[in-house]
């Protein structure tokens, strides 16, 4: 591979928005094992939150994808491959980035939902405290306290 081709490929994978419009790879080989990446990402994303038992699996997959990305970038940087092989690696890298973005977004949605649940619980506790402190906690929350006009 020529130096300018190598530079083009490295710029492509480093570009912001490189994943826009790019499809997730159907499968990818990581550490000698073929993973059905598209099926895995869609399976995880179709859930609203990541169940506790799946969280470790997702974190492991993300670590493995990051490691695979680094290995592929290093192969392009070394320049001992053909340009065609470099293009294939760049496509895989952009696909890996797309998968990582999808998995990271799911996690942030989960964190947001948890924050909302905590806020609702805090408001409920605060309301109970105020009712009790003001003497409005008589067990019947449908109307005003006794003696109120």
More confident residue, 115 or 60: 60
What does the domain layout of the chain look like in residue ranges? 3-105
Strand partners, 34: 29
pLDDT, average across residues 28-40 = 83
Q: What are the tokens at 84?
A: 């065609």
DSSP the chain: --HHHHHHHHHHHHSTTTTTTPPPPS-EEETTEEE-HHHHHHHHHTSSS--HHHHHHHHHHHHHHHHHHHHHHHHHHHT-S-HHHHHHHHHHHHHHHHHHHHHHHHHHHHHHHHHHHHHHHHHHHHHHHHHHHTT--SS--SSPPTT--
Other beta carbons within 10 Å of 1:
18
Q: Are the CB atoms for 105 and 48 separated by under 8 Å?
A: no
Average pLDDT, the chain: 81
- pTM of this structure: 0.65
Residue 29's pLDDT is 83
Instruction: Give the tens place of pLDDT for each residue, 38-74.
Output: 888 888 778 766 766 778 888 888 899 999 999 999 9
- Residue 67 sits at the vertex; the CA angle it makes with 50 and 17, to the nearest 5 degrees, is 75
Report phi then psi at 33, rounded to 5: -115, 135
């Amino acid at each position: 591979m020529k130096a300018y081709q190598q530079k083009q490929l490295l710029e492509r994978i480093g570009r912001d928005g490189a994943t826009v419009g790019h499809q997730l790879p159907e499968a990818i080989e990581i550490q000698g094992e073929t993973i059905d990446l598209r099926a895995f990402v869609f399976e995880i994303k179709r859930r609203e939150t990541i169940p506790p038992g799946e969280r470790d699996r997702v974190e492991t997959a993300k670590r493995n994808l990051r490691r695979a990305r680094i290995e592929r970038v290093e192969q392009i940087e070394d320049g001992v491959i053909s340009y065609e092989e470099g293009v294939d690696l760049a496509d895989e890298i952009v696909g890996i980035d797309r998968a990582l973005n999808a998995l990271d977004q799911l996690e942030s949605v989960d964190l947001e939902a948890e924050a909302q649940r905590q806020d609702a619980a805090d408001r409920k506790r605060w309301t109970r405290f105020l009712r009790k402190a003001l003497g409005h906690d008589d067990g019947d929350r449908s109307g005003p306290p006794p003696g109120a006009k």
